[in-house]
Structure 1
Amino acid sequence: MSARPFEFTSPPRIVFGEGTLAQAGGIVASLGTRALVVEGSSGRAAPLVALLRAAGVEPAALLRVPGEPTTALVEEGVALARRARCDVVVALGGGSVIDAGKAVSALLTNPGEPLDYLEVVGRGTPLAERAAPFVAIPTTAGTGAEVTRNAVLLVESARVKVSLRSPLMLPAVALVDPELTYTVPPDVTASTGLDALAQCLEPFVTPHATPLTDAVAREGLRRAAGALRRAVADGADVAARRDMAVASLCGGLALANAKLGAVHGFAAPLGGMFPLPHGVACARLLAPVVRANVNALRRDETRAGTHDALARYDEAARLLTGDPGARADDAAAWLADLADALGIPPLAAYGVAPSDVPEVVAQARRASSMQGNPVVLTDVELGDVLRAAVGARG
């Protein structure tokens, strides 16, 4: 990695550790007095609401996020928060819940609607004002959304998921309590955990990597490789849950400061076109994308310019497998075996068919994440990747 200029941003405060949810009341009270509480459909916010009240914060409004956050849901949340005169937003949940809260906090202080600011299908107007104070409390180890500066929203009219993105959207505080993940079921632990792993691997092999993103990506890869199977097998494995929470945090920090790649380039349109959980999409795309990138680079390494992508895939293979002699091909095989072992369904289980490949490939080319891939894949190569994920052949 050359010493080219770079920057690294993160929330002003990250609080990590078992039992740290108990600090939520005091943290939110330092930022505001009337809170919009954002939660998922499972209704787990009652302990948080009690902590807020005990700290003198009024939970003035509640927004439930039943699935993927849509632009309509964000507009509803903004209206709700304004009516209740909320001056702080706190989200407790997975990536969808946190992204919804992040988007609401951004539009509380900026006029207009989400499409004014969304990339790809929106007008892409930059936010002018810093988002309202936002506290992110993840309950899954997956997206790392608690430390990123974007919110992924579903635009139903366009059947695509795109980002509202700005450095002014960073959460004021990320509160990561691994205890909140203990009750996550095995299938969700598996898919979200593979998303976390992908978000450490893609920023590690992108040409936009920096020495700091390399450091957190390496740590995340090492922890996820050792902990994910254990966390799925035994949700009460405290050390495994902690390592996965760290891996998710590392992935969020890495992607927020480098870029992702073809895995997430595909996941965005797939999530808008099919009832496909983001983690499942990433889990099934990960091995085929690694294999396609490695094969393309071996055929013509100049396609990556001066970036040492093959060497980085070799290093990733050593981190994942623990084998000091592992090479890039071993990484793809290991990832395919892991997805199979964890029971990740093929994309066909969610209605994705080979006939959908051309449209999805065309949409994926427009996705911002695709710009971070270490090599520009052809439409034929992208099609092969997607067909492999549809049939769950790594």
Structure 2
Amino acid sequence: MTVRASDSRKGALIDFIQGIYGPPPITLHRPVFEGNERLYLVDSIDSNFVSSVGARVTEFEGRLAAFTGATHGIAAVNGTAALHTALLLVGVERGDEVISQALTFVATCNAINYIGARAVFVDVDRDTLGMSPEALRSWLETNTRCEGGRTVNVATGARIKACVPMHTFGIPCRIEMIAEICAEFGIALVEDTAESLGSYVGKKHTGTFGQIAAFSFNGNKIITTGGGGMIVTNDGEIARRARHLTTTAKRPHRYEFFHDEVGYNYRLPNLNAALGCAQMEVLPAMLKIKAEVAARYRAFCSEQGLHFIEAPAGTTSNNWLNAILFDDRAARDDFLKFSNETGVMTRPIWRLMTELPMFAECQQDGLEQARWLVDRVVNLPSSVPQSEFERLKP
């Protein structure tokens, strides 16, 4: 059963949250700096390498790639820049179309638009909140044709170049099936892994199913570099191009300045990477603690007859943001008002991209499940509790 607006359980839920996090104000997801962050920052300052050249950048890239099982990591200034670059690297061009999901953060679609490409939206699965492989296949079979070895949108004549599913709140979508469909139709798979560091399908990390993926380390993510993002890939040539393109397309030379194409000033500064290196050291402990918090939410919701959203069998979520389902929009809004007025930060899921003016005219498949979820999903506080900080000490 889902939560009803008139149900006294909303008060019990707030009390339960305060039992985990203490008295208000309680934020949705706060950063935690209990490791070597200060030490590594001072070390970077003392080295005089504070911008995009520095040992910590290389170290952070190596740590992240090793953790995910990817061969290469290329650090960027933020997740949107990483995704923009990833789309360029798989060959998305102006006038192309990119299939994504309307239930996502706006950065996913902004990155597509930066290139002059256009998003096409297919529905999500209700349990994963991520792209539905059935919806993807249905749209492709109904709306495209093969033309000269390319998949082309019958209605627009545009090439369908890439597909960008997103692992919502760290819950893996059905990425294996999506990868098979993309391969069948000759479409590049670019994973938006902004929220899913530490999430797995079986024993395989999200971001390693397609040609390339983009992570985010914004201040509200499971680990943070203040800003920051990361491209991961197993393709050596793509990795080489990623480093070149994000470093203003400058050819390496001791003193000459020669840029062989339009590039981007997208490389992550060494100071931010220093934070990332320290955060990677405590990531395993953070994942364990967040799994314990999620388990407490799950048990409470089960006892109270509430619907806690959890990862499907065979997958592991990083539990970045915990969420519950309400009966309808009125019940959702009632709880959002009640909780935030008590100083407990909760939030709804994003507005669908098709409800934003810049994407309102994009082609879509009706988005039945996405619309159902928008009316019902609420995120709950999901930080590492302060009582657990000692477990994060090196």
Using the size of structure 1 for normalisation, the TM-score is: 0.33
Greater per-residue helix proportion: 1
Which structure ranks higher in relative contact order (CA pairs < 8 Å, sequence separation ≥ 6)? 2
Using the size of structure 2 for normalisation, the TM-score is: 0.33
